[in-house]
Structure 1
Amino acid sequence: MNLNNFDVAIIGAGPSGAVASALLNQQGFRVCVVEKQHFPRFVIGESLLPQCMQFIEAAGFLPAVQAEPSFQFKNGAAFNWGSRNTEIDFTDKFTAGHGTTFQVRREKFDHILINEAIKQGVTVRFGEEVVAYDDDSAQLTVQPENGEPYVLQAKFVLDASGYGRVLPRLLDLETPSHLPPREAHFTHIDDFIDESDFDRNKILITTHPNHRDVWLWLIPFGDNRCSIGVVGLPERFQDFENSEQILKTFALQVPRLAHILRNAQWENDVPYRVIRGYSANVNTLFGKHFALLGNAAEFLDPVFSSGVTIAMYSANLAANLLTKQLNGNNVNWQTEFVDPLMVGVNAFRTYVDGWYDGSFQDVIYAENRTPEITRMISAILAGYAWDTENPYVAKSARRLAALAETVGSAVYR
């Protein structure tokens, strides 16, 4: 048996790579995951959506995820803007399916998922970088940390490289995002939060009191830690020296956050970090022998924690379609992969755009939403952005515009 010959090669061992590898392995295919880094490693995107649980369960990862004590149970999202507070309950939603999930330290979460895939029989090679790709032959040139480059032969390649965006770079597929180049400054803190002040079962998304285009996340974990970050355009942060100064200043300008974090210890083993110009796009999601998954294809924005959900959804779609193809059936990657995937991506894009132009914020902070509309919005925020039975998915832009006009005046009363 050729040790460098596989049915499927997957670039990247993050959530989409782990899920796709396990699903394909279940179908009896030989799968090799090539990962540049060594795990565990720090990565952002720590608040999962309930839709993820379907794919975690299908891949056989759920018991291991549930067993990790540092993962925090999550049942919804809370929003704050000045004196206005809104909670969205993911268990009360329009679409059937999981209504709860977890907030996770991604270095642990990603390590658990790929270790479970290894236990199931997936080959994973850490510390190896894909440096070239030939789509005519589906050959990857792989450079190990130590040693000579070698050729890995596959029948098909899935790029799950996330922010690394390996095939988009190698094949010149990248195109500008329609979203402005925002930046995120973040860290982890030891929070020491008084439980009476805050529901740890929900992510807290806060609109800055003076700048509606600046928002902050607070994601509690199960071990007295929180992830905290601030997102905005570069010009909002240009007068500050570093990420620490930016994050502390903007967080403590929010009365609710200042109160919740009054006992927090900001200094620990996690440094302050920044990601700039994170939104990205490509001119195609597939080729003759490859397809792009998750952030390797397109990343919108962290505001609704959609990144991991889109990644896992794309992994599930691709694994199902690739199973058909490798079993000798005709498939159409445009109509069976791209078009279905973009239903959810475009729905999320509507609400990301609406968040920054204020229309979706008006809806979130309105006091006169009906329970039915709230359930439809809850379903989307829980990750069920592919349910076209939900009017706020099927006609997202038109519905959001009409709803914002109806409820928006209530925000300013």
Structure 2
Amino acid sequence: MRVDSDILVIGSGFGGALVATVLSQLRYQVTVVDKASHPRFTIGESSTPLADRTLKRIASRFKLDWLAPLCSYGTAQDLRPHVTVGLKRGFSYFQHTAHADFQPRQDRSTELLIAASTADHIADTHWLRSTTDNYIAAKLVDAGGKLIDNFRVHQIDRSDNWSVSGCIASDAEPTQNPSSVELTARFLIDASGPGSVFARDFIRGDDTSQLKTHTAAIYGHFSELQDWNDLYVQAGGDDRPHPYVSHRAAVHHLIDEGWVWQLGFDNGVTSCGIVLDRNSLSANPLANGSGEDLWQRILRRYPTLQKQFADARLVAPSRLVVRDRLQFLRSVGAGSQWLALPSAMGFVDPLHSTGIAHTLAAVEKIAEMFSRCSQDDPFPSHRFLQAYADQVRSELLWIDELVSMCYAARFDFSLFAAATLTYFVVVTAAEKDERDGFLSVNHRELLASVGSVAQRVRDLRKKHASGVASPSEIRETVVWIRKTMAPFNQVGLMDPQKQNLYQHTAPPDKTA
């Protein structure tokens, strides 16, 4: 079989399928290939106000009425049974101590709750990606786009056009004589993530060593997980002042080894993972034994988490996924007649739920570039492609700065809260004015202030490791961070009187 197209997209996750749909709306002939088929398990599931706003603009501009409901929890219910989501009212953080029950305190010094919306119906969502990706890919096909599942790339060549040879062969149903496919296209988009076959053949450099964040992860989807808020109340916590039910959010349980994420979906499934901070561990905990063994060993160290998971069972995939390092950064993100989505250029960490928003921001950039093209010059120039790649790279490095700062602060929860709220100062500023790029990456004064905060946090981390960081110095640093970020703090974050509970940080479109 031979397929000729204007544009070939490798990867049919929501980013690849959506950019293909948008380009089809711009009257390009687009073919999407993927090594697997939908629906399939994947993570990267937590949306944000920035993501929802970008999605809404894309849906409006390209008349994708079927896409717009994903922008909020209330309207996402209209997509059932095709799409499953979960309610995300904000970001919840809880500090655990090894070999001790979780201990709520009157001063809220072991918790941090940051509302991202003021009501359920306008709230953000967790995307059960097996359903959302399948939904968007199906809409691409409905609109006339071509999708080839279970495609194995054998070779990618470039002369005047791109030429990709491969075959269709499912892992689930291997055949003795897989059907051969020859694909040609004038432009190529890599949306295939960290395991990119395009990068393998066409990108020689790797810049992962430039990233400060260094984490590993074990994860899967569970059923029968006990609601965290019930355990919080059982432990003596008063949940009445909380801005939302604490587990109706992106939940972060901080532990010595890193943190545990929990994202609940409406079908009773919860996405759970343990992220391991390799910078703070003396040895690689994944070097020996299985992911399941390590999962259980870690849970046993934290009695309240062990109790929460007592009846939970893994439902997808068949075994826990183990990733020895989550981070990667490729040296090149675009070239002559090709570009990569952020997920194929690099990835930092799930700590601040930046993945969906970052991908959608790139889709919008790509749509803008291609919408400016003409029949005589139908593809973006090298200058525009290089500017796109440079921008996405700077965004990845900026995310790394924000995330690694928070990891460096984990040794003290008050310092971690200050570092995390520094991130939310950045994101709430970006929500009010997106002209400075994704997460205000082009706002030089903001970047300089955050850089000084990050450096002071890292210096204090070094002193802590040497046993010379005093409680008074940590308190002074928290006060200094508050003053340093005050010029950019537009929503009242870092207010000691709030006792780590923030109800009014939502942008206007997330306020009822």
**Shorter-chain TM-score: what band?**
0.7 to 0.9
Q: CA RMSD in A?
A: 3.6
Q: CA deviation at 1:5?
A: 1.8
Check whether the contact 2:326–2:349 (CA below 8 A) recurs between aligned residues.
yes
The residue aligned with 2:37 is 38
Letter aligned with residue 190 of structure 2 = D
Which amino acid in the other structure matches residue 272 of structure 2? Answer: I
Q: State the partner residue of 2:115.
A: 89
Q: Deviations over 1:229-251 (max 9, x none)?
A: 11223825258622122123323
Identify which of 384, 389, 405 aligns with 1:338.
389
Query: 1:273 — aligned with what?
Result: 321
After TM superposition, list the pairs within 5 Å mapping 1:2-151 onto structure 2: 4-57=3-56, 58-59=58-59, 60=64, 61-63=66-68, 65=70, 66=76, 67-68=79-80, 70-82=84-96, 84-91=110-117, 100-145=123-168, 147-151=178-182
Counterpart residue type for residue 347 of structure 1 = W
Preserved contact between residue 342 and residue 359 of structure 2 (Cα < 8 Å): yes
Residue 193 of structure 1: aligned partner: 227
Deviation for aligned residue 1:386: 3.8
Q: Which amino acid aligns with 1:171?
A: F
Pick closer, same or farther for the CA change 1:137–1:131 going to 2, 3 Å. farther
- Asked if the contact 2:252–2:260 (Cα under 8 Å) also holds between the matched residues in 1, the reply is yes
Paired letter, 1:50:
P
After superposition, the C-alpha distances for 1:187-233 in whole angstroms (9 at most, x for unaligned) are 2222142654453321111221x34xx22111111122211111223
Q: Distance in 2 between matches of 1:73 and 1:407?
A: 39
**Contact kept in structure 1, 2:45 and 2:127, CA below 8 Å:** yes
1:153: which partner in 2?
184
SS of equivalent residue, structure 2 residue 22: helix
User: In 2, distance between residues paired with 1:367 and 1:280?
Assistant: 23
Q: Distance in 1 between matches of 2:420 and 2:166?
A: 58
Report the AA paired with residue 86 of structure 2. Q
Contact 1:174 1:280 survives alignment (8 Å)? no
Report the equivalent of 1:284: 332
Q: Tell me which of 251, 257, 268 is aligned to 1:204.
A: 251
Does the aligned pair in 2 maintain the 1:11–1:130 contact within 8 Å? no
Structure-2 separation of matches of 1:280 and 1:118? 31
Shift of 1:122: 1.6
- State the SS of the aligned residue for 1:175: coil
Secondary structure of the 1:8 match is: strand
Larger deviation, residues 155-164 vs 99-108? 99-108
Q: Is the 8 A contact 2:190 2:340 kept in 1?
A: yes
**2 CA distance for matches of 1:126 and 1:396?**
44
Output one character per residue of 1:269-306: Cα deviation in whole Å (capped at 9) or x when no partner.
Answer: 54222122231121211111110112211111222222
Q: Is the 8 A contact 2:45 2:126 kept in 1?
A: yes
- Is 173-182 or 278-287 further displaced after alignment? 173-182
User: Matches of 2:396 and 2:193 in 1, distance apart?
Assistant: 16
- Tell which structure's C-alpha radius of gyration is larger: 2
Q: Are the aligned partners of 2:161 and 2:185 in contact in 1 as well (CA < 8 Å)?
A: yes
- The 3-state SS of whatever aligns with 2:313 is coil
Q: How far, CA to CA, are the matches of 1:296 and 1:29 in structure 2? A: 22
Aligned length: 400
| Distance of 2:203 and 2:246 partners within structure 1 | 45
Sequence identity (%): 17
* 1:280/1:299 contact within 8 Å kept: yes
Distance 1:290 1:241, change over 3 A: same
* Counterpart residue identity of residue 110, structure 1: D
* TM-score between both structures, scaled by the size of structure 1: 0.83
Alignment of 1:394-405 (within 5 A): 396-401=450-455
Query: Is the contact between residue 9 and residue 157 of structure 1 (CA under 8 Å) also seen in structure 2?
Result: yes
Corresponding residue number in structure 1 for 2:174: none
1:223 lines up with 2:255 in the alignment: no
8 Å contact 1:23–1:319 — kept in the other structure?
A: yes
Give the aligned partner of residue 357 of structure 1: 408
**Aligned-partner residue type, residue 365 of structure 1:** A
Q: What TM-score do you get using the length of structure 2 for normalisation?
A: 0.68
Q: Which amino acid aligns with 1:156?
A: F
Q: Secondary structure at the match of 1:87?
A: strand
Match of 1:253 among 287, 301, 311: 301
Segment of structure 1 superposing worse, 374-383 or 275-284: 374-383
2-side partners of 1:368 and 1:62: how far apart?
31
Q: Distance in 2 between matches of 1:54 and 1:397?
A: 27
Aligned equivalents of 1:3 and 1:54: distance in 2? 39
Q: Cα–Cα, structure 1 residues 166 and 392, in superposed 2: closer, same or farther, change >3 Å?
A: farther
Against the structure 1 CA distance between its residues 254 and 12, is the aligned structure 2 distance closer, same or farther, given a 3 Å change threshold?
same
- TM-aligned CA distance change 1:185 to 1:386, over 3 Å: same
Q: For 1:189 and 1:408, how far apart are their aligned partners in 2?
A: 38
Which of the numbers 216, 235, 242 marks the counterpart of 1:183?
216
Contact 1:71 1:103 in 2 (8 A): yes
Contact 1:304-1:381 within 8 A present in 2 as well: no
Instruction: Report the 3-state secondary structure (helix = DSSP H, G, I; strand = E; otherwise coil) of the residue aligned with 1:132.
Output: strand
